Amino acid sequence: MVDLSDLEKRLNKDAELRAKFLKNPAAVLKEEGLVLNTQMKKDLKELLAKAKEPKKGVGARGVGVSIRIRF
């Protein structure tokens, strides 16, 4: 089972892992045991692209990953 809270902690502490995640998040998630479908990969890529865009004003920037499971 994938522990996303652990991954989040490691992404915030490990600059190399963070850079790898920002370059190819789907690959990092797959290495962690979480395989995304095609649409999820596309959505994640778009979210990261938006997060990297310059922001107007002052404030923190970041990206969050959440998982929704539908039954």
Question: Is residue 34, in this structure, part of any structural domain at all?
Answer: yes
> Quick check: pTM over 0.85?
no
Question: Is residue 66, in this structure, part of any structural domain at all?
Answer: no
pLDDT at 1: 74
* HEC sequence for the chain: CCCHHHHHHHHHHCHHHHHHHHHCHHHHHHHCCCCCCHHHHHHHHHHHHHHHCCCCCCCCCCCCCCCCCCC
Domain with 10 in it? 4-52
pLDDT in tens, 33-44: 998 999 999 998
Number of domains in the chain: 1
